Amino acid sequence: MQEIILFIMAYLIGSIPTSVWVSRYFFNIDIRDFGSGNAGATNTFRVLGTKAGSFVFLFDFLKGFVAVDLAYLIMAGEMSNAALTNLQIGLGITAVLGHIFPIWANFRGGKGIATLFGMILAIQPTVALILVAVFVVMLFTTRYVSLSSIAASVAFPILLLFIFREPVMLYKIFAIAAAVLVVLSHHKNISRLVAGNENRVPMFGRGK
């Protein structure tokens, strides 16, 4: 019963539609009606500028982190490392699904990249910090949020499998699946990148 409550909480936390609320209350628009129509940090950067995009990314990042840490509300100290990691992965995935299908915003959310990063930070901080570094370097180098997200996501299973040699099988499977899903969910962005039509974000301006 405790686990069920935690999963419901994780979903509701993930469902907080940060970009939708920011766009409505500060810009009097619905972010989903502009740009790619996606309610995530990437489209917020593109439509509303650097400041709004950075805030949305950070808040969505924290959603994943907080959802994973819900595991410590039960007797986590009595669980094996593998069992705790499996519970954390389950909570994190639930939060990501909440971000993609938010109950607070008619189930029209974002792609869950920032929330995924927050989830990884809570489970394995070193890996998460490397992924954030990959994302930031790519972003400042190319100014393509989509390309930065893809690069960091692909780096995720590579780090777990070949560098850190993660022992928990579910975590390795999840990392590979997450990378594949991120690439597939960005297929339109990839097409625009190849065609040279993808929008860059204004990294050094004031933003909107």
What average pLDDT does this structure show over 7-22? 97
How far apart are alpha carbons 193 and 168 in whole angstroms?
35
Residue 10 is predicted with a pLDDT of 97
Crossing angle for the helix pair 169-185 and 145-158, to the nearest 10 degrees: 160
Distance of CA 121 to the CA centre of its chain: 11
Q: Which two tokens stand for residue 115?
A: 């929330």
pLDDT of residue 144: 87
Q: Is the pLDDT at 76 greater than 80, yes or no?
A: no
Inform me whether the pLDDT recorded for 72 exceeds 50.
yes
The pLDDT assigned to 203 comes to 53
Give the long-range contacts of residues 130-137, CB within 8 A, separation 24 or more: 130/155, 130/159, 131/155, 131/156, 131/159
Looking at 47-51, 143-147, 159-163, which range is the least confident one? Answer: 143-147
37-46, 58-67, 99-108, 115-124: least confident range:
37-46
* Mean pLDDT over each residue of the chain, to the nearest integer: 90
pLDDT at 207: 45
What is the rounded average pLDDT of the residues 45-63? Answer: 93
State both tokens at 11: 């979903």
pLDDT of residue 77: 66
